[in-house]
Structures are given as structure tokens and as C-alpha cells.
């Protein structure tokens, strides 16, 4: 990962600086909340995908940096909302927004970040880019809603899980890669290949993250773990276990899960 990061390190630094500066675009009364939410210095995987796609199809320019900032702001907005729904208390080795200021303020803060990202997307001369970003934001929210709808659903199939993951996580990686290529004016085939690459990387990353939620260490990850199972979100490790378990093990496990 370090070798890959090195390829776009100068541009990632620009992205980081731009993300931090976004707080000043908000009303002074809420600027502090925004600063806290965006200042966690995450892995910036989605910005990296946008920049790498741009570099793979041309020269990385300011448009790619703008795109990288936008996809990260959308991601941060989803994290704020996720932590509310999961009742998580730690994120990036610090208290979550909801742990500090409660759910009501946190919901609105996540909304503000979503809206701000969409405002930034209107600065692209190519309106197709801003429309694609808006569609992706809708896809992410739809995926989260379907996952919430299917909580504690023992009939959830692996195929259902993958579809949810593609919507709520893969779609933003796919958009980052696709639009990175679009900004470079890449040909249709290259753009589609990169979009598929982004979707698969994002889906794989979410599966990895779901495994961490069950088997990870909070001290290492810096965030609250074990929330998926407590909230009835059946992720791939759980689905595979339920599919391979004996009838007794399955019934016992399901009873424990449903009882919380």
C-alpha cells in the first residue's frame, strides 16, 4: 500500500489540505463540528482511487484533486450517519461525533457534509460528472436503507449481501475510478474497466472491514467493533458460518443473535 500511495503522494497532500479547508465554507456556528468530523485523517482510499485512475489515463490535474475531495466528503458523511445507527463510540481513535454531541446534531452534520459535497460537484464544467456524483450519493443511501431493512433477516443470501455492499461501498469507489478517468478524457473502454476495478476494490474492502468487525482489535483499528452483529447486520463471515453450520448450531446461533 505504501508503494501505491507514493505514486500520488503530492496530490494526496493537496487533497488533505483542501479537505481541512472545507470547514471554513460553513457557518461559523457549526464550523467546529465540521472540523472535528473531517479532521480524523483516515486512510483516504477513495481519493487515492480517483487520483490513480486519473494518472492511469492521463496527467493528474486540479479536477482530479477536486473529485478526490468530494468523494472523501461523501464518505465522511456516511461515517457520521453509520456511527449513529451503530451507536458507535470510537472512530479513528477518537470519540465519534454522536458520542460527543448526540444523534440529533450528528444527523444534521452528516446531511451538511453530503450537501456540501454535492455543491462542490457543480463546479465541474462537465455536468455529467456532477450528475454521476449525485447518483452515487443516492446509491449509497439506498444501500444503507436496504441493509437496515434486512436487519435480523435470516433469509438474507450471500447474493443479497454482495448487492448491499456494492451499493453502499463499492459504488463510491467505482465513481471515484470512473470519474477520475472521465476527467482525463479517457476512452469509453478504459473508463468502464476502471469503474469495474473501483467497484471490485470497494466491495473487497467492505468484506475485509466486515471481517474486522468480528475478529479485529479495537486498539488496532481505532474504532468500535462488534456493532454489525449486535445490530442484526448479517455480513459475509456470519452468512458463511450459518450456511456451513449444522442445524443445531444454526438454530442456536440464530437464537443468540435474535436475542441480542
Residues 6+ apart with CB under 8 A from 132: 175, 178, 179, 182
pLDDT tens for each residue of 91-110: 888 999 999 999 999 999 99
184: phi then psi, degrees, rounded to nearest 5: -80, 0
Mean pLDDT value across residues 206-217: 93
What distance lies between CA 253 and its chain's CA centroid? 29
Report the pLDDT averaged over residues 160-178: 99
Residue 95 pairs with which residues in a beta bridge? 90
Neighbouring C-beta atoms of residue 28, cutoff 10 Å: 7
Dihedral angle of Cα 43, 202, 1, 21, to the nearest 10 degrees: -30
Task: Provide φ and ψ at 95, rounded to 5°.
Answer: -60, 140
pLDDT greater than 90 at residue 25 = yes
With a cut of 90, say whether residue 37 has pLDDT above it. yes
Helix axes 127-149, 158-165, angle to 10 degrees: 140
149-154 mean pLDDT: 91
| CB crowding 149-159: b at 16 or more within 10 Å, else e | ebeeeeebeee
**SS3 at position 155:** coil
pLDDT at 41 over 90: no
SS3 184: coil
Q: What is the pLDDT of residues 48-90, one digit of tens each?
A: 999 999 999 999 999 999 999 999 999 999 999 999 999 999 8
pLDDT in tens, 8-22: 999 999 999 999 999
Q: What whole-number distance in Å separates Cα of residue 222 and Cα of residue 200?
A: 25
Q: What is the mean pLDDT of the chain?
A: 94
Q: Which domains does the chain have, with CATH numbers?
A: 2-259 (1.10.600.10)
| 188 C-beta neighbours (distance < 10 Å), count | 9
Residues in a beta bridge with 91: 94
Residue ranges of E strands in 49-88: none
Nearest to 235 by CA among 210, 206, 260: 210
pLDDT, tens digit (0-9, with 9 covering 90-100), for 218-254: 888 888 888 898 888 999 999 998 888 787 787 787 7
State the Cα–Cα distance between residues 68 and 139, nearest whole angstrom: 18
pLDDT confidence bin for 26, thresholds 50/70/90: very high
Does pLDDT of 260 surpass 70? no
Amino acid at each position: 500500500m505504501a508503494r501505491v500511495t507514493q505514486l500520488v503522494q503530492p496530490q494526496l497532500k493537496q487533497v488533505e489540505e483542501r479537505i481541512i479547508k472545507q470547514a471554513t465554507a460553513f457557518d461559523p456556528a457549526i464550523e467546529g463540528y465540521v472540523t472535528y468530523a473531517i479532521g480524523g485523517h483516515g486512510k483516504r482510499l477513495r481519493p487515492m482511487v480517483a487520483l490513480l485512475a486519473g494518472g492511469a489515463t492521463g496527467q493528474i490535474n486540479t479536477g482530479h484533486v477536486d473529485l478526490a475531495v468530494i468523494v472523501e466528503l461523501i464518505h465522511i458523511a456516511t461515517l457520521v450517519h453509520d456511527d449513529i445507527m451503530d451507536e458507535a463510540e470510537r472512530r479513528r481513535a477518537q470519540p465519534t461525533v454522536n458520542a460527543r454531541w448526540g444523534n440529533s446534531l450528528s444527523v444534521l452534520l452528516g446531511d451538511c457534509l453530503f450537501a456540501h459535497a454535492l455543491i462542490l460537484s457543480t463546479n465541474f464544467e462537465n455536468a455529467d460528472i456532477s450528475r454521476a456524483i449525485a447518483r452515487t450519493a443516492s446509491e449509497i443511501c439506498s444501500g444503507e436503507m436496504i441493509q437496515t431493512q434486512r436487519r435480523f433477516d435470516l433469509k438474507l443470501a450471500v447474493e443479497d449481501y454482495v448487492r448491499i455492499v456494492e451499493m453502499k461501498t463499492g459504488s463510491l469507489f467505482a465513481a471515484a475510478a470512473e470519474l477520475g478517468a472521465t476527467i482525463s478524457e479517457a476512452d469509453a473502454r478504459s473508463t468502464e474497466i476502471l469503474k469495474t476495478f473501483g467497484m471490485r476494490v470497494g466491495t473487497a474492502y467492505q468484506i475485509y472491514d466486515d471481517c474486522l468487525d468480528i475478529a479485529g482489535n479495537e486498539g488496532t483499528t481505532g474504532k468500535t467493533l462488534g456493532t454489525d452483529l449486535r445490530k442484526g447486520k448479517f455480513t459475509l463471515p456470519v452468512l458463511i458460518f450459518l450456511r456451513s453450520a449444522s442445524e443445531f448450531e444454526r438454530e442456536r446461533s440464530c437464537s443468540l443473535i435474535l436475542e441480542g
